[in-house]
Amino acid sequence: MSAEIPDIALIADRKRTRTRLGWFPGWTMVIVAATAQYMSAPGQSYSVAALKDPMRATLGMSETDYSLAYSFATLISAAMVPLFGRLLDRVGARVMIPLIAAGLGLACFQMSRTESLGELYFAFSFVRTLGQGALFLASVWLIGEWFERKRGIATALTGLGGGLSVMTVPLINDMLVQEYGWQRTWIALAAVVAASLVLPGVLWIRDRPEDIGLSPDGITEDEDTELDQSDAASTQSPAGPVITSLEDSWTVKDALKDPTFWKLLSVPTTSGLIGTGLIFHQVALFAQHGLSSREALGLMSLQAMCAVTMSFPAGYLTDRIPSRYLLFAAMVMLAAATLLVTTLPFTWMAFVYAMLMGLHGSILRSTGTVVWINYYGRAHQGEVRGVAWSMMILGAALGPLPLAWSIDYLGSYDAALYGFLILPLLAGAAVWTAIPPLRQD
What's residue 421's pLDDT? 94
Q: Would you list the DSSP string of 343-368?
A: H-SSTTHHHHHHHHHHHHHHHHHHHH
Domain 11-210, what fold? Growth Hormone; Chain: A; (1.20.1250)
Task: Give tens-digit pLDDT for 99-156.
Answer: 999 999 999 999 999 999 999 999 999 999 999 889 999 999 999 899 988 888 898 8
d(CA 101, CA 131): 8
**What count of Cα atoms within 13 Å lies in the side-chain half-sphere of residue 100?**
35
- CATH architecture of the domain with range 242-432: Up-down Bundle (1.20)
Matching fold, domains 11-210 and 242-432:
yes
d(CA 337, CA 299): 13
Task: Give tens-digit pLDDT for 57-67.
Answer: 899 988 678 87
Give the ranges where 257-348 is alpha helix by DSSP (H).
Answer: 259-280, 282-287, 293-309, 311-318, 323-343
What's residue 346's pLDDT? 85
Range name among 86-95, 125-134, 262-271, 307-316 with the lowest pLDDT average: 307-316
Ordered by start, the domain boundaries in the chain are: 11-210, 242-432
Residue 62 burial (CB < 10 Å; 0-12/13-18/19+)? exposed
pLDDT tops 70 at residue 7: no
Q: Helix, strand, or coil here: 23?
A: coil
d(CA 163, CA 362): 9
**What is the reported pTM?**
0.76
Which residues have a Cβ under 8 Å from the Cβ of 133 and sit 6 or more positions away? 43, 77, 78, 80, 81, 84, 389, 393
